[in-house]
Amino acid sequence: MSLGRQAKILSKRQLDAALGLLSNTGYPARNRVIFLLSVNHLDPEPA
């Protein structure tokens, strides 16, 4: 059952902070992959 709420959008700073925290866990590579797969990041400015 959906609650009809929009997911929060993380800023680049928040993404970097989360990835920094994940690097200090027991399985940093695994946790980083899981986190990155769960984030739908669409870059508003094409490179």
Per-domain boundaries in the chain: 11-38
Contacts of residue 41, Cβ cutoff 8 Å, sequence gap at least 6: 15
Query: What's the pLDDT tens digit per position in 1-47?
Result: 667 777 778 889 999 999 999 999 999 999 999 998 888 765 555 55
CA torsion, ordered 19, 21, 25, 28, to nearest 10 deg: 10
pLDDT at 28: 97
| pTM to 2 decimal places | 0.67
pLDDT at 8: 79
pLDDT at 7: 74
pLDDT at 43: 58
